[in-house]
Amino acid sequence: MGSGRSGSTLLGILLNLHSDVVSPGEISNVGRFRRGKRPCSCGNNVHTCSYWSSIMENWEKLNTHESVNRTIEKGLKIENFKSPRAWFKIIFNYPFQTQYFENYLQGKYNFFKAIKEESGKDIVVDISKNPLRAYVLSKHPDIDLRIIHLVRDGRGVSYSIMKKSNRKQKPFWRAALYWVVINRISNFICKKTKNSGLIRYEDLITQPNETLNEISNIIDVNLQTVMEKAELNLAQDESHIMAGNILRKSKSIKLKLDTEWQQKMNPKQLKSFRIMARNTLKKYGYALRV
Ligand SMILES: [Zn+2]
C-alpha cells in the first residue's frame, strides 16, 4: 500500500523468493488483465498463459463466470479511493450488513484461493497500492491480512511520474500532491487496521536484512532465506506476474538505490516540493534539502 513508483514490484519479487509466498503482481488490475489488455510477465496473455488461465478457470468454478465478472465490475466502484462516496460507504456502513459487500468480498476471497491453489503457496503478496482496497479486504473474516505501507522519498516518486517515458505521465504539482495524499491516507488505514507497518524503500535497498526483519515482524513469516537467495543476485525462475513495472520481466535484479531525481530535478522543483510536502517529508524522516 502507498504511492506508485515506490519499489513495490521489487519488494514483491523479493518476497516471492520465500518458499511459502507467491507474489503474482498488482492484482487489482485483474479486470484489464482478464480482458487481455495487460500481458503476463511470461509474455502471454491471460488466455494463453497456462498459469493464469488455470487460475481464472478455478475462480469461475469457485464462483461462476457471471459472478467473477460482477466482482471485477463492483471492484471499480468499491475500491475507487478517489471517490469520497466509496470511502463513506466502507467507513460508515459495516460491509457485512449488505449482501452486496458480502458477495463482493467472497468473490475476492475466492480469487486469492484460486491463486493459492494454482501456486501451491500459502501466502499471496498483492502489490496493489490502493489503500481503500486494503481496507476493504481487511473486512473479510477469513482473509488474514497484513499490510505493508511502502513509502519512498516523494521527490523520487514525483520525478518518476513526471518522466516522459511514463505512460501515465503527470505534471509535477499533481505528482507531488498525489504523493502527499496517498501516503496520508495509507497512514490512516494503517492506524485503522491491525497487522500493518511502515517500510521505506530506501531502507529496503540500503539495509535489506534489517528491513526484511521488520517486514517479518509485520507479516509473521521468517524471511531469512529471502536474503540468502537475494544475495545470489535474485535469479528468478519463469514468473507469471500481472502488471507492476518493467522489473517484473528481468531475470536478475540488483538492489540499487535509484537516485536519478537528485541530479535531474531542478532547484525550483525541489523548492516547490519542499513547500508542498514539508510535513509529509519530515514525517517519514526525509531530509528537506538534498
Ligand atoms: Zn504467464
CA-based angle 219:225:230, to the nearest 5? 105
Condensed to tens digits (0 to 9), the pLDDT of residues 129-183 reads 999 999 999 999 999 999 999 999 999 999 999 987 777 788 899 999 999 999 9
Q: With 0-12 CB in 10 A as exposed, 13-18 as middle and 19+ as buried, what is 288? A: exposed
* Cα–Cα dist 49/42, whole Å: 8
Q: Which of 204, 202, 206, 181 is nearest to 3 (CA)?
A: 181
Cα(256) to centroid(ligand 1), Å: 27
Fold for the domain defined by 8-283: Rossmann fold (3.40.50)
The answer to whether 186 touches 178, Cβ cutoff 8 Å, is: no
* Cα–Cα dist 276/74, whole Å: 34
**What does DSSP assign to residue 46?**
T
Using a pLDDT cut of 70, give the percent of the chain over it: 93
Cα(198) to centroid(ligand 1), Å: 31
Q: Which of 202, 209, 244 is nearest to 227 (CA)?
A: 209
Condensed to tens digits (0 to 9), the pLDDT of residues 58-113 reads 999 999 999 999 999 999 999 999 999 999 888 887 655 688 888 999 999 999 99
Q: Cell 507497518 identifies what position?
A: 197
Buried b / exposed e over 12-21, threshold 16 CB at 10 Å, is bbbbbbbeeb
Condensed to tens digits (0 to 9), the pLDDT of residues 48-59 reads 999 999 999 999
Cα(44) to centroid(ligand 1), Å: 6
Q: 0.85 cut: is pTM over it?
A: yes
Backbone phi, psi, residue 246, to 5°: -60, -25
Cα(32) to centroid(ligand 1), Å: 15
Looking at the chain, the number of H-run helices and the number of E-run strands are 14, 4
* Cα–Cα dist 226/177, whole Å: 35
Query: Where do the domains of the chain lie?
Result: 8-283
Cα(134) to centroid(ligand 1), Å: 25
Please determine, for residue 249, whether its predicted confidence score (pLDDT) is greater than 60. Answer: no
What residues does 199 pair with on adjacent strands?
150
The answer to whether 148 touches 199, Cβ cutoff 8 Å, is: yes
The answer to whether 136 touches 79, Cβ cutoff 8 Å, is: yes
Cα(177) to centroid(ligand 1), Å: 35
* Cα–Cα dist 199/196, whole Å: 10
What residues does 147 pair with on adjacent strands?
196
Using a pLDDT cut of 90, give the percent of the chain over it: 78
Cell of 191: 492506524
